[in-house]
Amino acid sequence: MQRFLLIAAAVCFCAAAASAQTKVSGTLQCAKADPVQAIPVGDRPDHSLVVEQSKCTYTKPLEIEGDKSKDGLSTATADVNGDSSKARGFHIVTMESGDKAFFWYQGTAKSKEGAPLEAKGSWGLTGGSGKLKGIKGKGTYNCTPSGDGLSCEVEGEYQLAK
């Protein structure tokens, strides 16, 4: 009986280890959004809906199974109310190998007179290409102004498909 419990415990441990999440973090620099399309809602002067896209480079790459992130493309929609906004978007990361990772993100941002002050929120991995096909994960991001764009710290965890 003890041998069965020992084997059962070992199997449970291996199963838990196989499904364990791997920590990941990185820093990306995103240029000022281009293109940007803002449409006034019409209920008050400072309320608009926005669609925008930004190109990003990784100054501290995300490392996934030895492959490092190189650059990314973020496409988002935002509900802008004066100096605050709520955004939802997608970020496509290209790794050094050429594989891609697909992220969604959502969060809030603050600005002053149109200049960004901060943006923060959460993200999730929805899949990828090549070795990253079926990858899943989640985490948080925090962005601050840098040059003509934003510098974003990203952290979280991922799990490759089995």
Q: Under DSSP, is residue 41 helix (H, G, I), strand (E, B) or coil?
A: coil
Name the token pair of 138: 């989640």
**Domain-by-domain residue ranges, the chain?**
22-159
| Angstrom distance (rounded) from CA 83 to CA 107 | 14
Bridge partners of 156, per DSSP, are 24, 139
In the chain, what is the straight-line distance between the N-terminal and C-terminal CA atoms, in Å?
31
Within 8 A by CB and 6+ apart from 131, the residues are: 65, 67, 97, 99, 160
Element (H, E) at 19: none
Residue 12: pLDDT band with limits 50, 70, 90 = very low
Phi and psi angles of residue 87, each rounded to the nearest 5 degrees, phi first: -125, 155
- 22-159 is classed CATH 2.40.350.10: yes
CB 46 within 8 A of CB 81: yes
- Residues 81-134 have pLDDT tens digits of 999 999 999 999 999 999 999 999 999 999 998 788 999 999 999 999 999 999
